A = this chain, B = another copy of it.
Amino acid sequence: MDDAIRIDATRALSSAVGEAHGVAEAELDAIAPRVRQLHGILAEERATAKYGFYDLYKDTDVIDRVKAEADRFHAMGYENLVVLGIGGSALGLTALHTALHPPYYNLRDPKARDGRPRLFVMDNIDPTTFAQMMRLCPPEKTLYNAISKSGETAETMLQLLVIIEPLERAMGKDGVKDHLVITTSPDRDRVPNAPISLLRPVAKKYGLTAFDIPVNVGGRFSVFSQVGMFPAAVLGLDIDGMMAGCAAMDARCGQPDLHANPAYLRAALHYLLDTRKGKTISVMMPYADGLRSVADWYCQLWAESLGKQYDLDGKNVFAGQTPVKALGATDQHSQVQLYREGPNNKVFNIVEVAEFSETLPVPNTLQCVPELEYLRGATMNKLMAAELQGTVDALTLSKRPVIRVTLPRLNAGTVAQLLYMLEVETAMAGRLYHVNAFDQPGVEEGKRIARELMGADC
C-alpha cells in the first residue's frame, strides 16, 4: 500500500535520550517474547469473537446495508445531520469527519458540501448549546441519529426526549421514521444474548431504521461499526477507503513480532516508558488541524482502557497513563515550554502529515521588512514541517522521548490505518499492564449519584 503510515521510534530510544528517559534496544528485545505470548492470547480471543473490533471491516453485509441506508436517507435531502451520542458514540465520527472533510465544513454552501448535510454532534448536555442547535436545525430539515448501546445513557436519552416532541409535532407520528435513526444493541428477537436496550421500544413505536452495535464491541472501539459508519456514510465519507485502511493495518498488526508490528511496538514503548522511565503522561500531538479530533478520540481510548484500579488478578494497581491532546504547531506557543523544561514525565506522539491537500505559497511581498526574507518564496507547508522537526529536535535535546507517526497524506485509508493501529495498540497495552482494557467500572458511581439526584430509583 502506497499510503502506509510509518512509525519512527528512534527518538524514544535510550540511544537518543539516554538510559533514564529512553527505552534500550535490549529492553525491547527482552519484552518481545512476552508481546509474542500476549499476541497469542489476543489472537485466540479474537478467534472466539470475545472482541469484535478487529473484524468489523470484514463484515460486508453490514457495510453494504449501512451504505444502502445512507444513500436512501441522503436522497431525502437533509440540511442537517444531528448525532445524539456521547463518549464513544461521538468521538469516532467526529475524528473521521474532522480529518476527512475540509475545515469550516458547516459554513460551506450546500453545493460545496456535495449536497451533504451539515453535522452537529451533540455530545454534551449544555442547555445553551442544545437550544441553539434546535434553532439552527428545524426538524423537517434534519436527520437525527441517536446512539447508545444500552439506551440507558442519561445524556443521550434526555436529548432524545427533548427532540422527539417537536419532531413528532412537525412531521406527524408516521413521519418520525424519516428523521430519526437509532443505533443500539441488537434486538433480542435476532440476537438472544443481546442486552436489553431502551431504544428498541422507541424504534418499535415509530418503525425506525435501526442499526446494531455488536454485543462484543464497546463504545470506544466502535468507530468502524455502524456507530461511526452510518453517519459517516450519510456525510459522504469514503467508507470503502476506510475499510481498505483497516485491512492494510490489520495485516501489519497480525505479526507477533513487535519489530514488525507498529501497534505492538508502540504498546511496548508506552508501557516501558510509563512503568520504567516515569513517563506517566502520553501526549498526542498531531501537526495537522484535521487530526485534532483524532487526538480527542485517542484520549478516550487510552484513558478509559488502561485507567484501572484492579488488574486481572484483582490486585490494586491504579494503572494508566494520562493522555493529553496537543496540536502542532500552535501548542508550541502554549505547551512546549513545559514539555521541554518541566518534569520529564511524558512521551510525545508527534503525528505528521507529509503532504497536505493544499499548498500555500508565500508571495514575494513586504520588502519593507528584510527580516522576513527567509519566509518569502517558501510555503506554509514548509514552515509546518520545519516547526515539527524543530520541536522533535528540541525535545530530543532535552531528553524527552518522541515517537513519530507519519501519514503520507490525509485520506480515508490513512486515517483508518491510524485508528485501527491505536485500537490494536490499546488491546496489547491492556495485556502488558495486565488489566481489562474493555470495561469501565469506574464511571458507574458518578452515574448512580447523578441518577439519584434526578430522583430515580437506583
Interface string of A129-157 (1 = CB under 8 A from B): 11111001000000000000001111101
Known: A309-B341, A441-B341. A449 touches B394 (CB 8 A): yes
Instruction: Collect the chain B residues with CB atoms within 8 Å of residue A332's CB.
Output: 87, 443, 446-447
Contact flags A330-357 to B (C-beta < 8 A → 1, else 0) = 1011111111111111100000000011
Number of copies: 2
In the complex, the answer to whether B289 meets A330 with C-beta atoms within 8 Å is: no
The reply to whether A334 and B104 form a contact with Cβ atoms under 8 Å apart is no
In the complex, are the beta carbons of A303 and B334 less than 8 A apart? yes
Binds B, one of A5-13, A29-37, A161-169, A264-272: A161-169
- Contact between A198 and B371, CB atoms less than 8 A apart: yes
B201 near A369: Cβ-Cβ < 8 Å: yes
Q: Output the nearest chain B residue to A289 by Cβ-Cβ distance.
A: B126
Assuming the contacts A87-B333, A322-B345, A446-B332, asked whether A375 and B126 have C-beta atoms less than 8 A apart, the reply is no
A360 at the interface (CB under 8 A from B): yes
Q: A329-B155, A335-B300, A335-B303 are in contact. Are A308 and B341 (CB under 8 A)?
A: yes
Contact among B154, B368, B394 with A201 in the assembled complex (CB-CB below 8 Å): B368
Are B128 and A357 closer than 8 Å at their CB atoms?
yes
Question: Does A222 lie at the interface of the complex (its beta carbon under 8 Å from any beta carbon of B)?
Answer: no
Q: Which of A237-245, A411-419, A450-458 is the contact stretch?
A: A450-458
Query: What per-residue 1/0 map shows which CB atoms of A415-458 lie under 8 Å from chain B?
Result: 00000000000000000000000001111011111110111110
Q: A71 in the interface, Cβ–Cβ < 8 Å? A: no
Inter-chain contacts of A165 with B (CB < 8 A) = 363, 365
Whether A336 and B454, one on each chain, are in contact in the complex, defined by CB atoms closer than 8 angstroms, is no
Choose, from A40-48, A49-57, A379-387, the stretch at the interface.
A379-387
Q: How far is the CA of A164 from the CA of B126 in the complex (A)?
A: 40
Note all chain B residues with C-beta closer than 8 A to A338.
303-304, 306-307, 320, 322, 442
> In the bound complex, do residue B394 and residue A446 qualify as a contact, i.e. CB atoms below 8 Å apart?
yes
| A103-B132, A330-B124 known; A375-B289 Cβ under 8 A | no
Counting CB contacts under 8 A, is A261 at the interface? no
Answer whether residue A405 sits at the interface, using C-beta atoms and an 8 A cutoff. no
If the complex has contacts A107-B136, A304-B337, A445-B394, are A383 and B158 also in contact, measured as CB distance less than 8 A? yes
Contact of A319 among B126, B334, B342 (CB under 8 A): B342
Q: Which residues of B contact A346 (CB under 8 A)?
A: 322
Contact B450 A127 (CB under 8 A): no
A330 and B450 in contact, given A358-B128, A360-B162 (Cβ under 8 angstroms): no
Seen from chain A, the residues whose Cβ lies within 8 Å of a Cβ on chain B are 86-88, 90-91, 102-104, 106-108, 118, 123-133, 136, 151-155, 157-162, 164-165, 168, 198, 201-202, 204-205, 219-220, 280-281, 288-290, 296, 299-300, 303-304, 306-310, 318-320, 322, 324-325, 327, 329-330, 332-346, 356-360, 362-363, 365-366, 368-369, 371-376, 378-387, 389-391, 393-395, 397-398, 440-443, 445-451, 453-457
